[in-house]
Amino acid sequence: MITSSDLRSLRLHNGVAERQVARGSWRRAARGIFLTHVDAPTAPELVAAARACAGQRFIVTGLLVLRELELPWVPAVDAIHVLVPPAVRRAGGDLVRITRASDFEKLETWIRHEARMAPAERAVVDGARSLPSLREVRGVVLGAVSSRWSTADELRRVLDSGRRNGSALTRRAIEDAARGCASPPEAELVDALVGRGIPFYVNPELWLDGHLLGRPDVWLVGRGVGGEVDSQERHGTAAHVENTYDRHERFGAGGLELVHLSVRRIHADAREAATRLLSEPARQEPPGLVIVPRGPLLR
């Protein structure tokens, strides 16, 4: 990264940088702040650009924080979002977004790349607001909740304490988390099951005679049938495949059935995938079966 001040110290005119940007050799991060390459910026480069743009007092929030926390389903990060005190009047730029935060002094932060990072729940809400699609927003919100970096209630409190405009998708994804969904495909399947007249739970624990059978992604209450959303992240390794086989054996021994539904199938037509699950013949649930819900009973 290089700034206009750096160029002046080298006895170079700012037009040198502007010509490099015009040629496609450099990128402009903000006014008077440049990256001397066009590759995806690294986290330290983005932090340096934010410091040059916003000054010394800022807190990094949004997707970059979630990347540093290694949450699943976070999209590629090519810009930085920072919070500054209310009195600061600074403009952002192409790669730097600046937001004045009334609660700046109250935020509990942690340090990465020699910069203060926002708490996970604040970063999730700010990051979700920046995303254009419900699937991406669900990835950020459900990834944070399933990884136990936050809860649906904590996210709802952060959302309710800030501005309301642009929050519809985030609020929807928080409701998915409250239902018990742990991934975007699960949430899409649940959407397709709601309103079909069959009561079900999302990600409940099933116990039989004091032994844990497993946690199916969806369980159709009273039908002895559950649904499993197969994904590369959760079922792609040899260990996960063995766990899947073991779970099937435990459910089968109890006279119960698990139906596997691929992520690709759900993405293509979630309602058809739900119909496939609902069409599975009902089984008699054994008397000792106990369901421990993660979320509310849906139907």
DSSP 189-244: HHHHHTTSS--EEES-EEEETTEEEE--SEEETTTTEEEEEE-HHHH-SHHHHHHH
The whole-number pLDDT of residue 244 equals 65
The whole-number pLDDT of residue 245 equals 62
Question: Mean of the pLDDT values across residues 35-53?
Answer: 97
Pairwise CA distance, residues 217 & 198, whole Å: 15
Question: pTM for the complete prediction?
Answer: 0.92
Q: Give the list of residues 6+ apart from residue 253 with CB closer than 8 angstroms, or none.
A: none
Phi first, then psi: what are they for 88, rounded to 5°? -75, 130
**What SS3 class is residue 14?**
coil
The whole-number pLDDT of residue 238 equals 44
pLDDT digits (tens, 9 = 90+) for 224-246: 999 999 865 554 444 454 566 67
Domains in the chain (CATH in brackets) are 1-39 (no CATH), 40-179 (no CATH), 184-292 (3.40.960.10)
Cβ-contact 137, 155 below 8 angstroms: no
The whole-number pLDDT of residue 248 equals 76
